[in-house]
Chains A and B, each alone.
Chain A
């Protein structure tokens, strides 16, 4: 049986996102973020839910944690043989799940903690991250029935077809502890829901949860595929993930600069800037990366090693609220979701369109 892939059908959305991070690097179980999705239940339709947790694998923090879906045992065996040619695999295991009636038809779900083989890296003259990214692309493009849905260090994504609160219970996220969590409830608009098509979308330690539907997908895809990325799922979130990986990791832009590329201010807004340096820089970024401007509605949370960034499209066609309490910062599509996690939240505010909210964990605390 081949795994059903997305893309053959377009289904004419709403989604829910949420995130929490401790600036002190304090660990939280996945329980709170699961609870946060409950008041936003009606923003999803049961065709996808998922979470990303950062700092959840401290005992294997120097190894890439690959999470994979397989359609059958034979595919798993084939994929494992492929991995062993390229990586030292220090551990491979079934990802523990809880049987619940709300989640059915699950694929085979495994995780591997791996380190690229030095000899292979030297032979290919690639740095470690590029090698891992290329391997992920290779498996997802060429190996039918296998799909890598998480590939960062000391982080992991967990996703499925179902409502997010059920997906969290299925993966037993109450038993993991991390300093940052993001979450997504899906209401697919253009593609049928498949396990791999649920959010977060990830590459290396970058994960993206997204509410919206971008109208620049094909322009963005054509540009980003020139740099070796393969958009396999025809979903807009996948392309946003690869754009951010390209701008941040490959091009070395800062988070704010990357935000100014994908949610670039209008030319008229740039023209009105009084700070000449800022004006020049915004003009430069729009001129160099015009094909990476993401138009149409989106609110996203990008998770990365040691922090997160929340961002709305420049017209703010989706809602997003931020709140704080002590060492924690909360982000969600609705204030109600934040109040579930922290009833006494303070400083609730809504960032403007295109205004990135960047939260990082104190150095050395993650």
Chain B
């Protein structure tokens, strides 16, 4: 079902979505926040530019954005999938604890900030392009993959900005790069990904390639750097002598 949400407020947009049933396409979306917040068991396609906190607390719904998304995509999401055919703003996947986010293009600052994991809940974020500074800040769990893919004519851009993995104490972060020129904090270990590391992300890269139409073998045929925290408590004595 197609619903034109031009000039509707965010509450009304979410009401329309609830009325809509298992499949819904929103058209004319422009800046409405909190779209699909907490929703489960439905497929949502969005035409236009959704506002901040798209899919916040998402609980199983599948969201497909035909264009860019703004800040805090998938804030605290629990389950489901968000696919963005474009770029996303800052703080994507903020504190997400389950589900997957796939971004075709670039992410802003603080992608994956405070992602976490618990038992079978392992959130995944795959960013096709590059990321701003503070990627994976305070990451506590889950998997972040940045592919650094470029289109012909794109301006030269580092795969990640300054201060990646600041405060990281859990999870894994992968960069499709040999890691040269990237300064990591001393509390994390960055090393070339080995076969067993890569085996963990193969299915996510495959899903990315199927979604956005690129060649999996070609994407995987490059050096990857994998980053993990040093120990269970690398920040001991950072603030107090304990």
Contact = CB atoms under 8 A, between A and B. Distances in A.
A12 interface: no
B52 A334 contact: yes
Contacts of B87: 348
A340 B49 CA distance: 10
B133 interface: yes
Given A319-B70, A319-B71, A348-B68, A336 B30 contact: yes
A350 interface: yes
Given A39-B51, A335-B70, A352-B133, A319 B30 contact: no
A321 B108 CA distance: 10
Contacts of A315: 133-134
Contact of B133 (A40, A316, A335): A316
A342 to B, nearest CB: 12
B133 to A, nearest CB: 7
A336 B49 contact: yes
Given A319-B90, A340-B30, A350 B70 contact: no
Contact of B33 (A42, A269, A319, A352): A42
Given A42-B33, A340-B30, A348-B68, A334 B108 contact: no
- Judged by DSSP, the binding face of B is loop
B50 to A, nearest CB: 8
Interface string A342-366: 0000001010110000000000000
Interface residues of A, number: 21
Contacts of B33: 42
A350 B89 contact: yes
A105 to B, nearest CB: 27
B38 interface: no
A315 B133 CA distance: 8
A319 B107 CA distance: 12
Query: Contact size class for B?
Result: 20 to 34
A315 B109 CA distance: 9
Contacts of A86: none
Interface in A155-205: none
A272 interface: yes
B229 to A, nearest CB: 21
Interface string B58-92: 00000000001011000000000000000101100
Contact of A339 (B30, B90, B162): B30
Contacts of B90: 316, 319, 350
Contacts of A292: none
Interface of B: 10, 30-33, 48-49, 51-52, 68, 70-71, 87, 89-90, 108-109, 132-134, 161-162, 183
25 contacts: A39-B30, A39-B32, A42-B10, A266-B162, A268-B183, A269-B162, A272-B183, A315-B134, A319-B70, A319-B71, A319-B108, A334-B70, A335-B49, A335-B68, A335-B89, A336-B31, A336-B51, A336-B70, A339-B48, A340-B30, A348-B68, A348-B87, A350-B108, A352-B161, A353-B133
